[in-house]
Chain A
């Protein structure tokens, strides 16, 4: 099989190595342009984990724009984060990118490992439904928001697989108001409360991203987080990959494109239902009385107290 643009052999998507790299970068540029994700002089912070997705978007934004820094949240996951952090430090040094690292330990007093240990001990007495991904979803998000202040955009490596899975999950769980926030640019309105979150890899699959990082010879840490992901997400992911077999990205693209088609209406419908309050404990913007972060801290403190720790 020959590349559809030249005479070289095909690597992926009917393209040879070089034309695939060109195609990949063009999709990112096109997504940024079409969804107005970045202005020329924007200060951009990229939330990175050291995995293929965030390394790729960090590399590309740094290639295309002048004001790019990296942000890494060190949750404190033994044997995982220390290694990815090392990879990330080397990468940022090589490409001359400023890396900002903030830890759970400094922010919340303890590592994720400590919190999970505490919760699993407590679970033996009473069931407290807190999963590792729940903690990260709340604490990481909070810290990313906090340390993105002062930047114009906060970018993440979310890809076509993440997004099509998330859309399906929210549909299946009947969570349309949450779904309304999705898209290459996150949020419902320009609330101006948070730094806008952008996802320039929105239309590229995990497979394409791993191929790109392999061709670019990024020194990646190829291991998953040791904490088991949400069971439901894994189920949706595996089923979606099963349906997508031999159809490449077609099915996943159909999901996100159909969603984007209706998302404008969703956003305007749910715009007025979002009530912005300020957390009575820490005063950050939230749609509840007490923000998710403070609520989680209260739960953890309660566990500590009951376990007499």
Chain B
């Protein structure tokens, strides 16, 4: 299982996923332009592959200055 946190919706999800973060974002309807991807505590590129047992956070870049 991959653990996903979407900050914008303050939502935690667990799902089966194998592939790139960018595709995970697409399937969850997260616009990659509006988030940074944090994989197991480090910020990573959206083309990074993730595997089961990974922990991924989509942190929203939109906020007041």
- Supposing A10-B45, A11-B43, A214-B43 touch, asked if A49 and B33 sit within 8 A by C-beta, the answer is no
- Please report which residues of chain A, range 229-249, place their CB below 8 angstroms from some CB of chain B when the two chains form the complex: 237, 241-242, 244-246, 248
Partner of A52, one of B33, B35, B63: B63
Are A9 and B45 interface neighbours, CB within 8 A? yes
Are A210 and B65 interface neighbours, CB within 8 A? no
Are A156 and B65 interface neighbours, CB within 8 A? yes
Contact mask for chain A residues 195-216; partner B; CB cutoff 8 A; 1 contact, 0 none: 0000000000111011100110
Partner of B32, one of A156, A157, A209, A246: A246
B38 at the interface (CB under 8 A from A): yes
Residues of chain A contacted by B65 (CB below 8 angstroms): 49, 51-54, 156-159, 162
- Please report which residues of chain B, range 26-65, place their CB below 8 angstroms from some CB of chain A when the two chains form the complex: 31-36, 38, 43-45, 47, 59, 61-65
A51 to B34, CA, bound (A): 16
Are A222 and B59 interface neighbours, CB within 8 A? yes
Question: Chain A: how many interface residues by the 8 Å CB criterion?
Answer: 35
Residues of chain B contacted by A224 (CB below 8 angstroms): 62-64
A128 at the interface (CB under 8 A from B): no
A171 at the interface (CB under 8 A from B): no
Interface residues on B, range: 10 to 19
Partner of B36, one of A51, A162, A211: A211
Could you tell me the distance in whole angstroms from the C-beta of B41 to the nearest C-beta in chain A?
10
Could you tell me the distance in whole angstroms from the C-beta of A258 to the nearest C-beta in chain B?
20
Residues of chain A contacted by B62 (CB below 8 angstroms): 161, 206, 224, 237
A223 at the interface (CB under 8 A from B): yes
B14 at the interface (CB under 8 A from A): no
Are A210 and B36 interface neighbours, CB within 8 A? yes
Residues of chain A contacted by B63 (CB below 8 angstroms): 51-52, 222-224
A302 at the interface (CB under 8 A from B): no
Are B45 and A241 interface neighbours, CB within 8 A? no
Would you give 23 A-B contacts (Cβ < 8 Å), ordered by A?
A1-B45, A9-B45, A10-B47, A11-B44, A11-B45, A49-B64, A51-B64, A51-B65, A52-B65, A54-B65, A211-B43, A214-B43, A222-B7, A223-B63, A224-B64, A225-B64, A241-B31, A241-B33, A241-B34, A242-B31, A244-B33, A245-B31, A248-B33
Chain A to chain B: the 6 pairs with minimum beta-carbon distance, closest first: A206-B61, A53-B65, A157-B65, A210-B61, A207-B61, A214-B43
Q: B residues within 8 Å of A by Cβ?
A: 7, 31-36, 38, 43-45, 47, 59, 61-65
